[in-house]
Structure 1
Amino acid sequence: MWQANEQLSNRGFLQTIAPPARDDLAQSLLLRVLDEVDYGLLVIDGTGRIRHANHLARHEMAGGRAIMTHGNVLLGRTTEFTAQIQQAIEQALRGQRRLVSLNLGGRDFSMAFVPLSHPLETDAPCVLVSLSRQSACENLAVRMYARSQNLSPSEESVLLGLCRGLSIPDIARQHGVAQSTVRSQIKALREKTGCGSIRELLQRVNSLPAVVPALRIVSPMPHNATEYAQP
């Protein structure tokens, strides 16, 4: 972190800014990189406490849709969710990879628990928790892809509708146009992107890098990056 040192001189206060230490700069850049990834990521230590959570993870916990935190401990929205999470953390701390799917009214919220250390090694045990990826249409890379392929605004809207799983009638109704218009726009999409089918187009979209569209307002507490104000 930049440090400001105030020095008193005969001419008054002179403020000098010292460059950050290399290790501090590397850590700061790494944390910024993690915030730009379109996956929620948490690191949990051997005591079960959250050591770091990137921006999307903090936003997810602030919303309390499936997970939350209390005293820097990762919890589920229900006691059943909490039990599944705690069991997966314990197994990951013993070197076992685990996948947990929490059912949210017909929609699954998945969490992968990956050990970052080996039980036979001397380093402190830690677990990486990777949360479900955001919806494909929330991925900023989709809009970046649309621009790179010179899609028109209406064609981009149709692409986003397809990413959301909407049918041609649904897209036509949403845009207030005829279904034949949507079919013409899909044809233009395929021609501009070089995709032979909608399926191929969606496969290409799903392979795009995961980029966060915008950092939401989640204010970390000074002493711990996993605590926050409001989403």
Structure 2
Amino acid sequence: MDGALEVDNAVRQGLGQRSLESAAGSLAMLMDELAYGVLITTPKGRLLQANLAARREIARHGLLTLHEGQVQAVDAAQARLLAQAMAKAESGRRGLVALRGEGRRLSVAVLPLRTERPVDPPTVALLLSRPSVCDPVMLCFFARAHGLTPSEEQVLAILCQGHSAPEAALQLKVAVSTVRSHVRSMCAKTHSNGVRALVGQVAVLPPIGTCQMQDAVH
């Protein structure tokens, strides 16, 4: 049996035992655990749903904002690009919009959401880039899973931000040899053959973020 078909059949059987409402609630809770933002809008940008990470991003009013229920980029020129990408999604075209400002960058993937039956209005998904390669929650999980010491975890967090061993030593106010000793220990514990492979393991971890809401959309 085709793998995708097998999954579809399993989902249908599972839904036979649980209500669609219950399954939708579980998916909503899962979305709030993700480290990157997910928004569901109409092609005109009217917000329908947003997970926790997306609500935090909007609450910052830095690159994305909510104006009269419409998701918009703060910068006028970038807002036009985002609106164009959402309009194209209505005809089934995917897009990527790069938002910049305040020394930050935010990539927004714009995806048409296809359903078996037409819905009115049609829906579009906006997937926001993760704030960093190294999500603090997953870094903590990774460190515990591999038996890293607190000092090693500190070094790894700095390396995951793109800094070198000497830069990590400067930030931690320790000798470069100490940092390199931590790196050798971490590579041995994680079966990595170098810093690049070590950071690469962290970069592909499941994108799980903090589940505590600190900001609210106004």
Relative to the length of structure 2, the TM-score reads 0.85
User: Deviation of residue 121 (structure 1)?
Assistant: 6.2
Cα deviation for residue 134 of structure 1 reads 2.3
Q: Distance in 1 between matches of 2:131 and 2:213?
A: 14
State the match for 1:31 in structure 2.
Answer: 28
The residue number in structure 1 matching 2:200 is 203
Deviation string 1:110-141 (CA, Å, 9 cap, x unpaired) is 000000027x9633311010001121223411
Aligned residue number for residue 82 of structure 1: 79
In the aligned structure 2, how far is the partner of 1:100 from the partner of 1:142? 28
Is 2:89–2:124's contact at 8 Å kept on the other side of the alignment?
yes
Task: For residue 215 of structure 1, report the CA deviation from its aligned partner.
Answer: 2.3
8 Å Cα contact 1:68-1:74 kept in structure 2: yes
Matched, 1:41 2:38: yes
**SS at structure 2 position matched to 1:137:** coil
Is 1:122 the counterpart of 2:118? The answer is: yes
How far apart are 1:175 and its partner, in Å?
1.2
Equivalent residue number for residue 51 of structure 1: 48
Structure index of larger Rg: 1
Q: 1:170 aligns with which of 167, 172, 176?
A: 167
Identity %: 34
Cα pair 1:99 1:113 within 8 Å, conserved:
yes
Alpha-carbon distance, 1:24 to partner: 3.3
CA-atom RMSD, angstroms?
2.0
- Structure 1 counterpart SS, 2:40: strand
Counterpart Cα distance in 1 of 2:31 and 2:163: 31
**Partner AA of 2:105 in structure 1:** D
Could you tell me which residue of structure 2 aligns to residue 185 of structure 1?
Answer: 182
- The 1:108/1:47 distance shift into structure 2, 3 A limit, reads closer
Supply the distance in 2 between the matched residues of 1:213 and 1:51 (Cα, whole angstroms).
Answer: 23
Q: Distance in 2 between matches of 1:176 and 1:214?
A: 32
Matched position secondary structure for 1:181:
helix
User: Which range moves more in the overlay, 49-58 or 165-174?
Assistant: 165-174
Figure out how many residues of one structure are paired with residues of the other and give that number. 200
Q: Which runs of 5+ in 2 are unaligned?
A: 1-17
- When you count strand as a share of all residues, which structure comes out higher? 1
Structure 1, unpaired ranges of 5+: 1-20, 220-227
CA distance in 2, matches of 1:61, 1:207: 25
Answer 1 or 2: which has greater helix percent.
2
- The structure-2 alpha-carbon separation of the partners of 1:199 and 1:60, relative to structure 1 and needing over 3 Å to count, comes to same
Change (3 A) 1:48 1:177: closer
Per the TM alignment, residue 103 of structure 1 is displaced from its structure 2 partner at its CA by 2.4
After the TM superposition, list the runs of 4 or more consecutive aligned residues in structure 1 that deviate by more than 6 angstroms: none
Counterpart CA distance in 2 for 1:174 and 1:47 is 46
User: Aligned to 1:157, what secondary structure does the other structure show?
Assistant: helix
